[in-house]
Amino acid sequence: MGFPINSYTRSGEIYSRALKVIPSGIYGHQGPAEGCFVPVSAFPFFSERAKGSYFWDADGNRFIDYMCAYGPNVLGYNDEEVDEAAAKQRAKGDCITAPSSIVVDFAELLTDTVASADWAFFAKNGGDATTLAVITARAHTHRKKIVFFKGYYHGVAPWTQKVDYPGILEEDVANNLYVPWNDDEKLAQVFEENKGEIAAVISQPYLHGNFADNQLPAEGFWQKVRKLCDDTGAVLIIDDVRTGFRLDLAGSDHFFGFEADLICFCKALANGYNVSALCGKDFLKNTLSGITFTGSYWLSAVPFAAGIACINKMKRVNLPKLLLEKGTALKDGLIATAKKHGYDLRVSGAPALFYLRLADPEGGGTPSLMLHQRWIAEMVKRGIYVTNHHNHFLNYSLSDDDIKTTIEVADEAFSVL
């Protein structure tokens, strides 16, 4: 017992100012309006600084951070190796009329690293990559329909949204087909019912939706999907934006024993420097060359320098192995601590991106959202930044001591529930 309880006075004051000049105050996945911070009062709204596995909020509270900026922070905040490479490039130039040749170095490194990458195309948002993937698949196949797995997230472009969302039209999603995750029979049926009309299947490597246990692929599932695509000429798009490099440096498709036709990267690509990538197979390269797709900062050099340093360091330290070990130790420790207090903590997804859910102690595994939220709140108020409805992210700089502290805080949080 005895971890100090945070207060968030200054965060609250800044949030009041924010509400006047920014819609929602804080928007999107980092904002309370999205429900990320339920119960809101337990979470800090604004950060002041960050280093390694920690960030400090506007009130000076320190957090062991298990969200890693929702993914980009893969080596630790302000990693010296990455920051030095970026600073060196910045002194030469960043966003210039003619691109720096470092874009070629980065593309060569990615095609050497990622098993299914014959080429690389760089942009800024994960959603730029998923949108370009869908356009490329449609241009290549001259077909319209795209298969999604229910519970998907592929960014915020209109084609990824739902028709009942504000401002989204039925035309935006008119060619979307939805299939339950891991249901290869239903998928085969949808292909049969839409013969010759399916341009692509787009999917995360495993299902990491919100407010639900994450689900790994069933044995042989990916091989069946791959075969259906091959048999029908549909393009297989893997959205590796969240999972990329955390499971396997050669791509999460490689991790699960298959090859994508197009694979989308973003978050862990450059340790927080602003870049995303679409990589793919040679047979789609010419098609993509004919598509007009560009943006103001897409060939800026600094994120490429950061990306090269980030990938080289991830390789050198064997990041996926290390995150698996850290994630497994953390997961086992949290489950055992819960059990000690009579609680049933379910941890799903890959250990490097663990999803937490506290089940009803009396209910044989039934979810207990309120209980779970209360526990998460007790963790966050004591400086462990976890969330109640989203997968988490580990990073290289998280220490064994950090994990030990996390489990000690969990012990106290369970005891006060």
Residue 409 as a binder of a copy of itself (CB under 8 A): the answer is: no
Interface positions, 133-162, toward a copy of itself (CB under 8 A): 134-140, 144, 155-159, 161
Interface positions, 258-277, toward a copy of itself (CB under 8 A): 266-267, 272-274, 276
- Least distance to a copy of itself, CB of residue 354, Å: 16
Residue 130 as a binder of a copy of itself (CB under 8 A): the answer is: no
- Any residues with CB less than 8 A from the CB of 165 and at least 6 apart, and which? none
Q: How far is the CA of 147 from the CAs of 115, 178, 181, 371, in angstroms?
A: 24, 6, 11, 36
Residue 283 as a binder of a copy of itself (CB under 8 A): the answer is: no
Residue 244 as a binder of a copy of itself (CB under 8 A): the answer is: no
* DSSP symbols for 39-62: SGGGS-S-EEEEEBTEEEETT--E
Q: Which is nearer to a copy of itself, 9 or 296 (CB)?
A: 296
Q: Which is nearer to a copy of itself, 47 or 215 (CB)?
A: 47
Q: Site mask, a copy of itself, residues 30-69, x = CB under 8 A?
A: x--xx--------xxxxxxxxx---x-xx----x-x-xxx
- Which one of residues 3, 14, 40, 115 is an interface residue with a copy of itself (CB under 8 A)? 14
Question: Largest alpha-carbon pair distance within the chain?
Answer: 64
Q: How many residues bind a copy of itself (CB under 8 A)?
A: 115
Cα 16 from chain centroid (whole Å): 29
349: left (phi over 0), alpha (psi -120 to 50) or beta: left
- Least distance to a copy of itself, CB of residue 348, Å: 21
**115 neighbors 254 (Cβ within 8 angstroms):** yes
- Which one of residues 179, 238, 241, 413 is an interface residue with a copy of itself (CB under 8 A)? 241
- Least distance to a copy of itself, CB of residue 213, Å: 22
Query: Could you say which DSSP state residue 326 is in?
Result: H
Token pair listed for 321 = 């192995």
Range in contact with a copy of itself (rule: CB under 8 A) among 122-130, 308-316, 331-339, 362-370: 122-130
Q: Which is nearer to a copy of itself, 41 or 415 (CB)?
A: 41
Interface positions, 195-224, toward a copy of itself (CB under 8 A): none
Neighbours of 213 (CB within 10 A): 17
Residue 163 as a binder of a copy of itself (CB under 8 A): the answer is: no
Residue 327 as a binder of a copy of itself (CB under 8 A): the answer is: no
Own/partner pairs, 81-87, CB within 8 angstroms, 24+ separation: 81/309, 81/313, 82/270, 82/271, 82/273, 82/306, 82/309, 82/310, 82/313, 83/306, 84/309, 85/305, 85/306, 85/308, 85/309, 86/273, 86/302, 86/303, 86/305, 86/306, 86/309
3-state secondary structure of 201: strand
Q: Which is nearer to a copy of itself, 200 or 338 (CB)?
A: 200
Interface positions, 353-392, toward a copy of itself (CB under 8 A): 385
- Which one of residues 80, 84, 163, 171 is an interface residue with a copy of itself (CB under 8 A)? 171
Q: Site mask, a copy of itself, residues 65-104, x = CB under 8 A?
A: x-xxxxxxx---xx----x------xxxxxxxxxxxx-xx
Q: Which is nearer to a copy of itself, 205 or 303 (CB)?
A: 303
Give, for 277, the enclosing helix (H) or strand (E).
strand 276-280
Residue 125 as a binder of a copy of itself (CB under 8 A): the answer is: yes
Alpha helices by DSSP H, 317-399: 319-340, 369-381
3-state secondary structure of 26: coil
3-state secondary structure of 20: helix
**155 neighbors 276 (Cβ within 8 angstroms):** no
Q: Which is nearer to a copy of itself, 73 or 368 (CB)?
A: 73
- Least distance to a copy of itself, CB of residue 195, Å: 19
